[in-house]
Structure 1
């Protein structure tokens, strides 16, 4: 049977309604599904925080799960804080928005898709100049944003606020992904999923809880069943 093809633009920015919502697993799942359709995929993390030099990070996890070779960071900071705060405390220098745009263009020149994983939510600053993932998307013509959200109580408000922030900045939302779907969802979670499915922004899928515990081979085999065509 032919693998499904996920219809996404060449550059996709992956943001979340909150921190630790499943952006890295979602990025890996998107990469795995795009690759299953025959596309070449790269991933880029503008700012990686909370990881020591020499240790693994989100892009290492994306490489492991999705099996892609090109998954790189713009900058790494060790404190588990928002990029601007971490850089200030560490005395580090954050890359400019233009440098992120240039890095993404370089990856796009040799890959069909580039997935850009943000830090935290859509309005977390990347550079100390007030630029966020939303501004980065606006500087990448044709790009769109995938919003990773929770399944639990409170997610409707957070998700709608994120979508509104994108709309006010004229940034396209390509879809929603529930970052961790429980094996035994509650009535609240089932209703939340139905609500997402009825929004104009498509619900691309729900990633099962524990997906990050799979081997890369298992993850890549299962991912096309998690995300909609």
Structure 2
């Protein structure tokens, strides 16, 4: 399966474009933002858990990145309400579920082999935020291959992008103006390496997930795709 799979081209999925697709597990459905592969795929998705839904324990050979957008997401006996950012490195395993229901942003098979550390950050904790150039930033992950953060922008404030080797963003709250479009909460956007990106918060401000650097040497020559 290929969804927004040409990484040399920009891609936008607005919140109004969502098409929910059932997963193999009852009670779990997803919006495919980009995807290369079948059920085991390099994928970026919005995933929705109905109350009392769960997956059996499984591994993630290519790693998994999660941002909890709503409800409470659980891994075994660990429970993560909205605002938690998680990284499960390549080779890790878990048993995800949700008692009350949850919506999460998920990236699969997109980590480097040397990305071996687990990450768990509560982005609702003020201690995890810092002021920088007129906006608030919550650093989530940084390596030679990628940089991930949340940015909290006041009205009309531009997104701060320090690395331009490709960029990917998800609007968490508020709305932004980008590429001649208004992107409200839940909208996702990917700009390829070498493309300019100008993003400005709307009249009510915005909170934005931003990942940069990871598209520098994509696509296919570097993609280690899972087996179908």
Q: Verify same fold: TM over 0.5.
A: no
TM-score, normalised relative to structure 2 = 0.32
Please state which structure has a larger fraction of its residues in strand: 2
Please state which structure has a larger fraction of its residues in helix: 1
Could you say which structure has the greater relative contact order, defined with CA pairs below 8 angstroms and 6 or more residues apart? 1
